[in-house]
């Protein structure tokens, strides 16, 4: 039997259970609601992300397609450029195979054409020198030429007009005559010729002041010696052919002269050489003249075994019978060294030299190491020069001192000079390469270069 007290206890317990159940229910319901909210929020976020990803994917795909289209266009353009480049390279190769045509202008001497065989040996550029019949190219030759070359007298009025009418043609001036003796107008305007010529072939060395001054005006240089008939390097080091006692100026032992002269250009007196020759002879240094100028005229026929070779070898053959050789230039210009000094060395004589102030650069050895020539400029007066020459001529030991250079290696400058002269085609080859390079640069470059030269 349940009493009131027990009923109260049961009610309390039931109430507690019910409350616990209700709390649990509400807690469950609350958690379930929160889970539902979180789930809905997650679903919403996932959907939003999905939509965003889809949007970005679409945009990226469109961007990628755009890039691919651009890339395809670029590849197409590159393929087109490559085809044009290949075509251009083929054209350049074809141009490389074409010879450079150089016209030696009508009325000019054709030494440069006669001196170099076609094609030029060991040259990567083929060059053809055209002179036409009797040394006169046709008008078509001139029109079709890549370059026109004038020798030292410069262009005539008609050829200058032709050159100016065709500015694409490379213009060359070639000279191995001293600047002092150049054509008056050419000499006068020499430093202003950059507005006409593109290439100058000259006897100057690269370090000469004249070269440095003119390079600033756009000139291009290729070096030539002013000498003709220069020998290969080994020839200079052969034994002296005639002994001291036999150098009498004749084929027998009877003394005739100390030296022979071979000058025929009597009008060129700018160096004072004719005056010096007269003074030497008058002061007792006896000379023999085998040319039109000088005292004591003689004939080369007195040395029949020296004939009928060319003028250079005949001269060398005769000179070896004299103790000295006369090597007087027609003018005194930097690096203007003609064949006279070289022929004297080859002949086994001592050259008496008057000319280029920088002659030491053209000698087999520097004077500080060994003597090989006697410079007239080293003596205050002609009498002083004669006194020394007489001393050398009468003293075999002193005389032979001037051939000690044959016992030492050649100077680098002498090797360069001789090699450059014996291999003249190297200079011509460089000229031909320069013509090709100027052609590639085009006519506008040439015109601007000539404007620079005129400044």
pLDDT per residue, tens digit, the chain (455 aa), is: 555 556 666 666 677 777 777 676 666 666 666 767 777 777 777 777 777 767 777 777 777 778 788 888 888 888 888 888 777 777 666 666 688 888 876 555 545 555 555 666 677 888 888 776 655 667 787 788 898 887 765 566 666 677 778 888 888 877 777 777 765 545 444 454 556 778 877 777 766 766 666 655 545 555 566 666 678 888 899 999 899 999 999 998 889 999 999 887 777 677 889 899 999 999 999 999 998 888 898 988 899 988 866 667 888 899 999 999 999 998 898 888 988 999 999 999 999 999 999 999 899 998 777 899 999 999 999 999 999 999 999 999 999 999 999 999 999 888 888 876 655 556 777 788 888 888 888 888 888 877 765 54
Cα separation, 148 vs 105, whole angstroms: 6
Give the C-alpha separation, 36 to 348, whole Å.
123
Contact 349, 319 (CB under 8 A): yes
Coil, strand or helix at 334: coil
Comparing C-alpha atoms, which of 350, 355, 348, 401 is closest to residue 378?
A: 355
Contacts with 167 (C-beta within 8 Å, 6 or more apart), sequence order: 443, 446, 447
Determine the Cα–Cα distance for residues 40 and 24; give it in Å rounded to an integer: 24
**Which of 425, 363, 440 shows the shortest CA–CA distance to 119?**
425
Q: Between the CA of residue 321 and those of 96, 241, 245, 345, what are the distances in Å? A: 52, 9, 10, 13
Q: Is 431 in a helix, a strand, or coil?
A: helix
Contact criterion met (CB below 8 Å) for 236 and 269: no
Distance CA(353)–CA(276), nearest Å, equals 11
- Cβ–Cβ < 8 Å for 226, 176: yes
Q: 């006194």: which residue's tokens?
A: 387
Smallest CA-to-CA distance from 181 within 323, 373, 405, 332 is with: 332
Q: Residues with Cβ < 8 Å from 385, sequence gap 6 or more?
A: 280, 352, 374, 376, 379
**Residues 88-112, buried b or exposed e (16+ Cβ, 10 A)?**
eeeeeeeeeeeebbbbbbbebeeeb
Percentage helix, strand, coil, to 5, in the chain?
A: 55, 10, 35
Answer whether 273's CB lies under 8 Å from 380's CB: no
CB-based contact 282:382 (threshold 8 Å): no
Q: The pTM is what?
A: 0.71
């Amino acid at each position: 039997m349940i009493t009131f007290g027990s009923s109260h206890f049961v009610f309390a317990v039931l109430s507690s259970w019910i409350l616990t159940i209700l709390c649990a229910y509400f807690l469950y319901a609350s958690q379930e609601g929160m889970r539902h909210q979180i789930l809905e929020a997650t679903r919403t976020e996932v959907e939003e992300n999905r939509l965003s990803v889809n949007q970005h994917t679409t945009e990226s795909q469109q961007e990628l397609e755009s890039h691919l289209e651009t890339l395809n266009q670029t590849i197409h353009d590159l393929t087109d450029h490559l085809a044009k480049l290949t075509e251009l390279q083929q054209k350049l190769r074809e141009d490389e195979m074409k010879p450079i045509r150089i016209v030696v202008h009508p009325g000019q001497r054709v030494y440069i054409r006669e001196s170099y065989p076609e094609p030029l040996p060991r040259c990567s550029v083929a060059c053809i020198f055209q002179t036409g019949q009797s040394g006169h190219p046709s008008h078509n030759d001139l029109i079709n030429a890549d370059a026109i070359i004038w020798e030292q007298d410069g262009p005539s009025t008609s050829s200058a007009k032709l050159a100016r009418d065709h500015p694409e043609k490379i213009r060359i001036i070639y000279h191995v005559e001293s600047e002092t003796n150049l054509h008056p107008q050419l000499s006068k305007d020499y430093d202003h010729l950059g507005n006409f010529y593109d290439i100058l072939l000259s006897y100057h060395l690269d370090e000469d002041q004249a070269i440095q001054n003119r390079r600033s005006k756009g000139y291009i240089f290729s070096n030539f010696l002013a000498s003709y008939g220069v020998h290969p390097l080994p020839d200079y080091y052969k034994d002296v052919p005639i002994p001291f006692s036999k150098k009498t100026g004749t084929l027998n032992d009877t003394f005739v002269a100390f030296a022979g002269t071979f000058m025929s250009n009597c009008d060129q007196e700018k160096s004072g050489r004719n005056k010096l020759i007269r003074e030497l002879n008058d002061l007792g240094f006896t000379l023999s003249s085998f040319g039109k100028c000088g005292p004591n005229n003689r004939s080369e026929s007195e040395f029949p075994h020296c004939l009928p070779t060319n003028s250079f070898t005949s001269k060398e053959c005769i000179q070896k019978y004299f103790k000295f050789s006369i090597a007087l230039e027609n003018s005194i210009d930097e690096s203007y060294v003609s064949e006279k000094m070289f022929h004297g060395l080859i002949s086994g004589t001592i050259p008496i030299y008057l000319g280029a102030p920088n002659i030491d650069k053209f000698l087999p050895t520097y004077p500080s190491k060994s003597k090989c020539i006697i410079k007239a400029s080293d003596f205050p007066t002609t009498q002083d020069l004669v006194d020394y020459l007489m001393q050398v001529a009468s003293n075999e030991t002193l005389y032979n001192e001037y051939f000690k250079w044959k016992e030492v290696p050649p100077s680098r400058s002498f090797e360069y000079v001789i090699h450059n002269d014996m291999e003249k085609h190297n200079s011509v080859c460089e000229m031909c390469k320069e013509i090709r390079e100027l052609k590639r640069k085009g006519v506008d470059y040439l015109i601007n270069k000539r404007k620079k030269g005129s400044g």
